[in-house]
Amino acid sequence: MPICRWFIWMIAAAVLASGGAAEAKSYPPLFGTKEIGSANWNFKKGVVPEWRGMLGRWKSGAPCESKICTSKNWAALVSQVKGAGDPMAQIKAANALMNKNPYIEDQNNWGKTEFWATSYEYLKKSGDCEDYSIAKYMLLKEAGIPIENMRIFSVRVRSLGGIGHAILVVYQGNKAWVLDNRTPSVMDASLIKLEFQPVMSLNENQWWYHLPGK
C-alpha cells in the first residue's frame, strides 16, 4: 500500500510561529511523546491552513456535486457505519469502507504537492494518506463519535526510514486505535508504539505538537 510523503518541515515552521498553549484532552500522550497543545489557528503555511482550508470547503457537510466533489453516496456510507453496531464496530467499518478507494498522490490528483481533500472531494477523486484519515474522521463524526476522541496524526514511519505519513487515531474503550490506509486492521496504538514517531496531531478543537519523551 503506498504511503504519502508529508512536508514535516512545514509543521515545524507552524509550531515555531505559534503562541499560547491550550490544555489537551486528558488522554495519555501516544507513542512515548510529550504534547504541547494549542488552539492558535493563525498560520499561513503548513498543516494548519491545509486543515482549515479543507474545513472551509467542507462547509459542515453541505451537499456538493461537481467535477471535483460528490456527496451522492455519503448518506449511505454514514448509515453503514451507524448500523455496524457499537462504537468499536463503527470504527472498524469506517476504516474498511474508506480504505477501499485507490491511493492517488496529490500531485497527480490536484497538480500540487500538498492538498487536503474534503470527504466529498475524496469520494470523487480519492486521495493520499491524509485524505483517507479526513474521510474516516468525518464519517465517524457523522456516526456519533465525539471529535474530542479523534485526532489526525502526522507521523514518521520508523520502519520505512522515517518517511512522512498520516493516520487517524480514535480513542475508545480506554485505548487509542490507529486507522491506517496501509492496513485493513484497526490497530491498538500501544502495540505498535515503536512504528510511529508523531510530529503533530489535530482535530477541530485544537492541535498538538509532539516532542520526544524520556
- Distance in angstroms (rounded) separating the CA atoms of residues 121 and 126: 7
Q: pLDDT band for position 12 (50/70/90)?
A: very low
Q: Which three cell numbers stand for residue 24?
A: 489537551
Its CATH class, for the domain covering 8-212, is alpha beta
What region does 106 belong to: left with phi over 0, alpha with psi -120 to 50, or beta?
alpha
For residues 68-87, average pLDDT: 97
pLDDT per residue over 24-53, tens digit each? 345 677 888 999 999 999 988 888 999 999
Report the predicted TM-score, pTM, of the whole model to 2 decimal places. 0.90
pLDDT tens per residue across span 13-31? 444 444 433 333 456 778 8
**Amino acid identity for residue 65 in this structure:** E
Residue 185: which residues within 8 A CB-CB, separation 6 or more?
none
Q: Which pLDDT score, from 0 to 100, does residue 174 have?
A: 84
Every domain of the chain and the residues it spans: 8-212
